[in-house]
Amino acid sequence: MNTSPTQCHKIAMLDSLDEEFRILADHIKQKASPQHTIEILEAGCGNSWELDLAGVSYALTGVDIDEDGMNLRKSEHQDLDEAIVGDLRTAVLEENHYDVIYNSHVLEHVEGAPLALDNFHRWLKPGGILILRLPDRDSVYGFCTRLTPFWFHVFYKRYLEGNENAGRPGFGPFPTVYDKIVSREGIRRWCAARRLIIRAEYGSNDFLNALGALALPARVLLGVVHVLSLGRLAAKHSNLTYVIEKPVVPSQAEIEEEKMAWQPAAVAPTAGNDGA
């Protein structure tokens, strides 16, 4: 029987956002060395940055399509070395340049998300990592988000999660599109087609933590929809987090050198054994 990439194995679950940010910061810190400033691109940077990279030298470039969000980011945090207002699908940035591309909760808002992903692939240095955080469209949460109108998303964020800025200029929520690639299967297939290495894959359900007393009924609802979907919609996780590496491709000279190293050494003819 064929199994899809989403069905093939269990996903490691993260317990909290703090745990997730600590793990992701550790992945980035592995790129550090005393002589090297880590080049980080925050793709779809929004109005704030969550990771604590104290102790490492890095340069942070932010790109976002929303000028209001970018202005808030610049005035309130002043943490970007370069701020670019632009569209991740069409922006022109240096190829093979970034050690880390961090893309958090952006792809679900992008029509033609594969165009943005292919740009990340282009902009990433060989050996660099792409960190993706996205909701899974094939989870109960993703399914419900796709079914409900945008005004409900604003209502949910403002009144159920208690975020009073929800819907104001520069603040989320942002309209969702949920391209097919915004799923476990979609990301795995994209990585396989480009020979990218998935170094880590996690699931989380942190929207439940923001619901307080409503978390329990929400959990029951997740379970019910999961069963009604005959197991097709995931209930255990709503969000996915990936650490994806662009492999270093050896140069032709390195390939030749490697071949030579494996060739058996020529046997020198010895006296009396010259075949005569």
Ligand X SMILES: C[S@@+](CC[C@H](N)C(=O)[O-])C[C@H]1O[C@@H](n2cnc3c(N)ncnc32)[C@H](O)[C@@H]1O
Which residues contact ligand X (rule: CB under 6 A)?
44-46, 63-66, 69, 87-89, 104-106, 109-110, 172, 174
The strand pair at 38-43 and 82-85 is best described as: unpaired
Question: Which CB, 88 or 244, lies closer to ligand X?
Answer: 88
Write down the least CB distance from residue 25 to ligand X, Å: 14
Write down the least CB distance from residue 251 to ligand X, Å: 34
Write down the least CB distance from residue 51 to ligand X, Å: 10
Contacts of 1 (CB under 8 A, 6+ apart): none
Write down the least CB distance from residue 191 to ligand X, Å: 21
User: DSSP labels for 78-115?
Assistant: ---SEEEE--TTT----TT-EEEEEEES-GGG-TTHHH
Write down the least CB distance from residue 257 to ligand X, Å: 42
Question: Which CB, 24 or 45, lies closer to ligand X?
Answer: 45
Give kind and range of the element (H or E) at residue 41.
Answer: strand 38-43
Handedness of CA 31, 58, 118, 248 (dihedral sign): negative
AA identity, residue 83: A
Give the separation between CA 180 and CA 209, rounded to whole angstroms.
27
Write down the least CB distance from residue 6 to ligand X, Å: 23
Question: Which CB, 69 or 226, lies closer to ligand X?
Answer: 69
Closest residue by Cα to residue 144 from 233, 13, 17? 233
Residue with tokens 């604590």: 52
CB closest to ligand X, residue no: 46
Question: Which CB, 183 or 239, lies closer to ligand X?
Answer: 239
Question: Which CB, 181 or 226, lies closer to ligand X?
Answer: 181
Contacts of 97 (CB under 8 A, 6+ apart): 39, 123, 124, 125
Question: Which CB, 107 or 222, lies closer to ligand X?
Answer: 107
